[in-house]
Amino acid sequence: MYVQKDEWVRVIDYLLKGKAGLPPYKRKPIAQVIGEQYFSLLEVVPRKDIHFELGERIYIGGDVREKVDHIERRIKYEWLTPTAKSELPIILEQIVRDHEDVFIQFYNTSGTISLRQHKLERLPRIGKKHLRAILDEREKRPFKNFEDLHQRLKSLPDPVRVIADEIDIELKGESKYRLFVPVVREWSNR
């Protein structure tokens, strides 16, 4: 089975002394991270004498990894530490802002899921009234960026937070539809 792999991740928790519950001789520094493109939740082990900061952007792709020794495993949302769970919404908003061009395209080009539902309606706090307003405005001309979207639709909830909240919901497994987070079928249970 082919699994989509992120090249860049953001640190959502860093455990300098490793995970509690393991015997001291088995503990090693580990970071819980989220991918920027496919929103993979992973645990990575830093290279010797490397430390991570919350929110730090780290390369984990196929080329030389300067800061990461190896990827320990893919993890589920439920396996995140309390710190990682609390940092996740903040980091997701940063990712959405940093990849504005990708997410503004979602507002500009998304279509229907079924005869009765549009993808934009799946976003938190976007109902039929907001949907109609977005569709009418994007028909006039595509949105250039989040600021343009906000200026043209002042009553619309924060477009960055709306996307970040939907990604969070999908990571928790609370959404029937997957707009941004691919389904993962295999899990490591180490």
Task: Please name each of the domains of the chain with its CATH number.
Answer: 8-79 (2.40.50.140), 99-171 (1.10.150.280)
SS3 for 47-108 is: CCCCCCCCCCEEECCCCCCCCEEEEEEECCHHHCCHHHHHHHHHHHHHHHHHCHHHHHHHHH
pLDDT of 3 above 70: no
The amino acid that residue 90 corresponds to is I
Q: Are the C-beta atoms of 42 and 7 separated by less than 8 Å?
A: no
Residue-wise pLDDT tens digits, 153-164: 999 999 999 999
The amino acid that residue 117 corresponds to is Q
pLDDT of 41 above 90: yes
- For the question of whether the overall pTM of this predicted structure is more than 0.85, the answer is yes
pLDDT of 127 above 50: yes
